[in-house]
Amino acid sequence: MEVKINKEIRQYKENIFFGLSLRQFICSALACVVAVGIYFIFKPILKNTGTVSWLCIAGTVPFALLGFVKYNGMTAEKFFIAWIKSEILTPKKLVFKPSNLYLEMYRQCQKGKKKIKKDKKCKNQKRRKKNV
């Protein structure tokens, strides 16, 4: 007798109905209810079965996405909340301002050298005036 054990315990899903998790089963049931509702609402209006079937498919897609799709380990609701937080609530305009540390140090050294040269010139001129 073999017992299957997942390598990663967090990947374990409990199957409730027909091999589906509770979340998947509820979303599938809602998709069926929406498809039947769209069919009975639009069948007398459009009288074209092909168009009505496309409307039914379009109506069930959101429920299929909510129930079955995961992105980076997040369910659809968590993904939409994270997307709204990152894109709408806290939009950021990132501006790149490069700074060259070595160039700044070089300029400071050059300023220091010029200052030292000026100080030496001043001292030399004062000595010359004293000697004269």
pLDDT in tens, 36-49: 999 999 888 888 88
DSSP H/E element including 102: helix 101-131
Flag whether pLDDT at 33 surpasses 70: yes
Only one residue has tokens 């909340």, namely 81
Q: What is the pLDDT of residues 42-84, one digit of tens each?
A: 888 888 888 899 999 999 999 888 888 888 888 888 888 998 9
pTM of the predicted protein model: 0.54
- Is the same domain home to 75 and 120? no
Inside any domain, residue 116: yes
Do 28 and 64 reside in the same domain of the chain?
Answer: yes
Give the closest residue to 66 by CA, choosing from 18, 15, 21.
Answer: 21
Number of domains in the chain: 2
Domain end among 89, 107, 124:
89
Strand partners, 71: 74
Cα 64 from Cα 113, distance rounded (Å): 72
Average pLDDT, the chain: 80
**pLDDT band of 32, cuts 50, 70, 90:** very high
Within-domain flag for 3 = no
Give the domain range for residue 120: 98-132
The residue with greater pLDDT, 23 or 32, is 32
46 lies in the same domain as 111? no
For residues 77 and 18, membership in a common domain is answered with yes
Same domain, 13 and 31: yes
Rounded CA separation 27/65 (Å): 9
Q: Do 82 and 129 fall within a single domain? A: no
Residues 122, 57 share a domain: no
